[in-house]
Amino acid sequence: MAVAIFFLDALLSFYPSQFFPTITMSSSVVDDSTALPTSPGRKTPPNVSRAQQILSAVQSTPLSNHAPTVDPATTPDYLVGHFDRYIEEDLRERVFIHAEHFLPTVLHLPPDWKTNDEITKQTKAISDNSVFKEHVRTYVDLCNKTKPGEKSFYHPYGMMCNSAFDVLGATDNSGLGIYRQDAKPVAGGLERNVPDTLGVLRAMFTSSGNTVDQMKDNGPKHNFSWAQTMHWQEFKPKLSFLDEGTDARYRVLSDAGKDPRGEVRGKITVHRDPGSILPPVTSSRLGSTSKKRRSQKEPPHSSKHARSGTTPDVSDARNRSENSTALSSLREGDIAVDEPTTEEEEQSQARRKTILQCARYALEILSSAGFRTHCIVALVTVGRIQLLYYDRSIIIVCKPIDMFKSVKTSETTTTVITDEFGALLIGLGRLTLKQRGIQEQFCVDRALIENYETYMKRCVKDGGAFEQRDIFKGVKFPLKLKLDKGDDEVEVEVTLGRIISRQPAIIGRHTCVVEAESDYKGWKGKELVIKISWPAVEKKSEADLVKIAREKARTMKTGKKPDWALDHLPDILLCQDFGYDTDSTQANIAAFCKEAKCAENETIDYENRVCRITVQEKLYPLEELRTVEEYAQVFFDILQIHKWLYDHPRILHRDISPGNIMWRRTMDGHIRGVLNDFDLSSLRDVPSASSFQRTGTLPYMAYELLINKNGQPPKHLYRHDVESVFYVILLLCCRYKVLATPTSSEPAPLSCEKVSSPFDEWYKLGRATLKDKKIGFIMGDTVSVNSGFASFQPWLNNFHGQFADGQSARTSHSHRQARGKATGAFDEETLQNQISYSIVLDICSEFAGSPLVVHNDQLEVAV
């Protein structure tokens, strides 16, 4: 498949790959860089040591675990193994609670829902409805069968729920409906995921042309996408598949002080992920040899989701999806697990895999489904149901609820719904769009969730394939622009285009970059991009930092061109935050976490976030450069603007990677390297809100930042970012080769091909192992670059030598200090003057025998 060059290994590409057809990848090479942002820092239970608390607090920021940003066109099947590792990290932080708390907090029922007159009346109305009772009878009869087959539950469950929603007032064009899905993967996803049933708005279902009867056996004729999905339900045949909270980080006690945790059914023996600072994790899938040691009480499972032998009838669509997923997982091999040796261990692993499967679907909704703040979903097994909640700060799991109970009279025994299940149906049926997770401010155009035909015209190509890049195409964005003078604001409307990139995430910022245009007089005719992200409320915005830098550049008085830095900074036109209302689900959860009493006396830290919309000019990615000389000038520009930022506005970028090195062309035709994406940057003189977080993208991070000292990563220094630039150049030159120099008179990007390299493993290793690899590389021999990049060899040799000399100087100083012979402290800022800006100038001011343009003549300090 055609991809952009090595920048896809870091960000998979800031821009879509088909924009650059001259850049190809060898068919034998599998891209290995996609990963998932990890969780933000959380509190550790107070009953552990302070060292352990600090160690747990040092989490990686969203960009520090390999490369999280995904080009939506990338073939999805081989991405699964990468995602699972980071989904597991988020899942270990989940909160396990009772239904008495989940229903009012997440489903917005009144706090006294158990005795509330309105809820009681509505529950009775549902229970007494003749249509509903018939559907309950059908479903209960299935539950009582010996081997009903899992698929047989999908349609009856939907009909039962829909009849309850009818009682609550739902119509063909209003309210929620639940329908069978499993015959087809949901469209627009990162993977070919196939939930069993979907909940969509009935207006969307009616406009789709599907009919309930036709979907009974084969699912939808006209497929739905994740953007159209409100909820999903996954079915399992055994109670043992439900999450019992045995390894949840937090378990919230009931009002009566009862622990929600269920029976511990089995133990899992696991290997710790190399380099991880988190608790051990289990594999997301069973190894191929595990079938030999399965319990003899049931036949081998037919899918990777460990369905029991009573359910061999998994759909072809799911089997195809799961087989390709399993193969990709075996290729990745990044999580080790011992094989289950008993039925209990097998059940425990199956339960773990089910939790992961559900989280994958949540990842799809939060990453592929438009402007979502959260999602509410369910795991259903025979006569029990478990509600799950995911937002960008927390995962909450409800203790399983019994759906039915038996009522005995003198003559008969009748099965009816429980009060909890009735309340669940009421809550789910009457949620508003906002409470379902729809960011209503951005849904002025309801086609995204209500009009199937209009929406599909945007997203389906002529050949009939769903184009997930187009899920926002044509959506109007109402924003407010604050004018330069006073507090006056003007309303501006921005029309969204194709998705450029996005970070698949459950917990985290989940940055999504989209093409845009506007008729606003100040922006008309400009190529724009909109960045949508969910940062922490207290995090200083990228726009604030760029504003500080640009204002400083305008006031500079020295140098041949005092304001030269403006050419090398992004131009942010608007930044607007959208917070959560006081009646939002997020506000409910924040209040709940503050008052929650946990089984281990922990405090649940719920990170308040905002939806941040940033509008800026469109910049160009490295892969659009035409010659190696242009690459060299852009890299040199980045080193210059980075030093200027360090000296004058005193900003340290802290996240140098290929995707953040962009460029623009000036009015007179010159290329200028632009340092982009200040989301993880900080002011040197202001303590950072993320001071206990390492920042950067793992393959490009300075090796020292991969080390924990007393549970904390080292202070981020100027030279660490220089080391990141070194790795960017190194990995370009060693993992790609230039195919040919363009001979056409028409300008064209440099054509490169991915080749096998020892550095490929840098994109797969954990922090500890990668640290060792980088130390070995720094202290080892220099490496040769590939064809077409030979002119970078002197740069790489010199940088390599400087870092090696710096580490040798530190080791020598340490030995002298141990013998009492050292005089003075070691200069960590420059590794005893081995890595300084003057060294950078000596190395990079010339390329292939010709001088490069020096812009920064405003040096303030020697570093």
> Does the pLDDT value for residue 744 go beyond 70?
no
Rounded to an integer, the average pLDDT of 267-272 is 33
Check residue 263 and give its pLDDT. Answer: 58
Rounded CA-CA distance 632/582 in Å is 51
- Map residue 536 onto helix, strand or coil: strand
- How far is 98 from 188, CA to CA, in rounded Å? 34
DSSP single-letter state for residue 17: G
Q: Give per-residue burial for 608-634: e unless 16+ CB within 10 Å, then b.
A: ebbbbbbbbebbbbbbbbeebebbbbb
Kindly state the tokens that stand for 760: 């490929």
Assess contact for 545 and 401: CB atoms under 8 A: no
Q: pLDDT digits over 352-383, tens only?
A: 889 999 999 999 999 877 789 999 999 999 89
Beta bridge mates, 363: none
Of 59, 61, 493, give the one whose Cα is nearest residue 277.
59
What is the average pLDDT score of the chain? 80
Phi and psi at residue 118, to the nearest 5°: -65, -45
In a domain, 431, yes or no: no
Nearest CA to 129 out of 425, 406, 410 is that of 425
- On whether residue 507 sits in a domain, the answer given is no
Q: Rounded to whole angstroms, how far apart are CA atoms 179 and 194?
A: 13
Q: What is the pTM of this model?
A: 0.80
- Using CA atoms, how far apart are residues 808 and 813, in angstroms rounded to an integer? 9
Q: Is 738 within a domain?
A: yes
User: What distances in angstroms separate CA 423 from CA 198, 540, 596, one per listed residue?
Assistant: 20, 41, 22
How much of the chain is helix, strand and coil, in % rounded to 5?
A: 35, 20, 45
The answer to whether 343 touches 297, Cβ cutoff 8 Å, is yes
55 confidence band (pLDDT: 50, 70, 90): very low
Structural domains counted in the chain: 1
**223-242 mean pLDDT:** 91
Model confidence at 694: pLDDT above 80: no
Least confident of 241-250, 532-541, 707-716: 707-716
pLDDT band with cut points at 50, 70 and 90 for residue 508: confident
Are the C-beta atoms of residues 367 and 532 closer than 8 Å to each other?
A: no
Domain of 756 in residue numbering reads as 619-862
Residue 666 included in any domain:
yes
Q: Is 736 exposed, middle or buried (0-12, 13-18, 19+ CB in 10 A)?
A: buried
Amino acid at 368: S
The verdict on residue 688 lying in a domain is yes
pLDDT single digits (tens) 585-613: 999 999 999 999 999 999 999 999 999 99
Neighbours of 258 (CB within 10 A): 12
> d(Cα 70, Cα 469) in Å, to the nearest integer?
11
Query: The domain spanning residue 764 has which CATH number?
Result: 1.10.510.10
Q: Which two tokens stand for residue 122?
A: 């509505």
Q: Is residue 622 scored above 50 in pLDDT?
A: yes
Nearest residue to 765 via CA among 284, 274, 34:
274
- Residues 763, 9: contact at Cβ < 8 Å? yes
Q: Are 210 and 223 in contact (CB under 8 A)?
A: no
- Higher-pLDDT residue of 231 and 326 is 231
Instruction: Dump strand ranges (E) for 724-793.
Output: 736-740, 751-754
Task: Report whether 468 contacts 189 (CB < 8 A).
Answer: yes
φ, ψ of residue 791 in degrees (nearest 5)? -70, -15
* CB count in 10 Å sphere of residue 333: 11
User: Strands 176-180 and 850-851: what pairing?
Assistant: unpaired
pLDDT-derived band of residue 488, with 50, 70 and 90 as boundaries? confident
Mean pLDDT of 632-659: 96
Other Cβ atoms less than 10 A from the Cβ of 74: the count is 19
Span 788-827, pLDDT tens digits: 999 999 999 999 999 999 999 999 999 999 998 888 899 9
What is the pLDDT at residue 630?
96
pLDDT at 217: 84
Highest-pLDDT range among 187-201, 556-570, 739-753: 556-570
Amino acid 743: pLDDT? 60
Domain annotation covers residue 216 = no
Residue 210 domain-assigned (yes or no): no
Are residues 319 and 303 in contact, defined by beta-carbon separation less than 8 angstroms? Answer: yes
Helices (H), 736-766: none
Instruction: Return the CA Rg of the chain.
Output: 28
**What 3-state DSSP class applies to 531?**
strand
Q: Do 692 and 712 touch, CB atoms closer than 8 A?
A: yes
Residue ranges of E strands in 563-670: 572-578, 611-617, 620-621, 651-652, 661-665
The answer to whether residue 203 sits within a structural domain is no
Residue 107's pLDDT band (cuts 50, 70, 90) = very high
* Beta-strand relationship, 374-381 and 231-236: parallel
Tokens of 741: 């120099």
Q: Which residue has the tokens 């509008």?
A: 615
User: Residue 772 pLDDT more than 90?
Assistant: yes
Task: Judge contact between 280 and 270, C-beta under 8 A.
Answer: yes
* Residue type present at position 570: P
